[in-house]
C-alpha cells in the first residue's frame, strides 16, 4: 500500500483532527508542513490536475481576508499556482494524498472510504 501524505500546518485545528484520526487507526502517513517544508509549484500542479483550484483555495481564512481586493479579484486558474506557492496558508487544509487520490479538508466518512479502498 502507498504511504499517505498529509499536507498542512501543524497548529491548524483541522489538521490536528486529521492527524488524530490517522494515528488512532494506526495508519502510516507522512506529514508535510507547508511552513517548515515549503511548497513546490510541481506539487500544486499535481493537485490541480485532480481537483479544482476553487476547492483548493480557502476563502474563509485570515490569509485570504488580508489579501488586497485586487489580488482576490484577479485569482483564476492561471494565477492560482504562484499565489498558493507564495502563500500556502491559502490552501484549504488538510490536503491528503494517497496514490492518485487527493482529499481536501477533513471528512471522517471520506477518509474511511479512501483507506478501506486502499487496504
Task: Give the catalytic positions in this structure.
Answer: 12
The Cα 16–Cα 13 span in angstroms is 5
Angle at which helices 108-117 and 13-24 cross, to 10°: 40
SS3 57: strand
Amino acid at each position: 500500500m502507498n504511504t499517505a501524505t498529509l499536507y498542512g500546518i501543524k497548529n491548524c485545528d483541522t489538521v490536528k483532527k486529521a492527524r488524530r484520526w490517522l494515528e488512532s487507526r494506526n495508519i502510516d502517513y507522512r506529514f508535510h508542513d507547508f511552513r517548515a517544508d515549503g511548497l513546490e509549484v510541481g506539487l500544486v500542479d499535481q493537485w490541480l490536475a485532480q481537483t479544482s483550484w476553487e476547492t483548493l483555495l480557502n476563502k474563509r481564512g485570515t490569509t485570504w481576508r488580508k489579501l488586497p481586493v485586487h489580488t482576490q479579484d484577479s485569482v483564476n486558474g492561471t494565477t492560482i499556482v504562484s499565489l498558493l506557492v507564495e502563500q500556502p496558508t491559502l490552501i484549504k487544509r488538510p490536503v491528503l494524498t494517497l496514490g492518485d487520490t487527493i482529499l481536501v479538508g477533513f471528512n471522517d466518512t471520506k477518509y474511511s472510504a479512501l483507506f478501506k479502498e486502499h487496504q
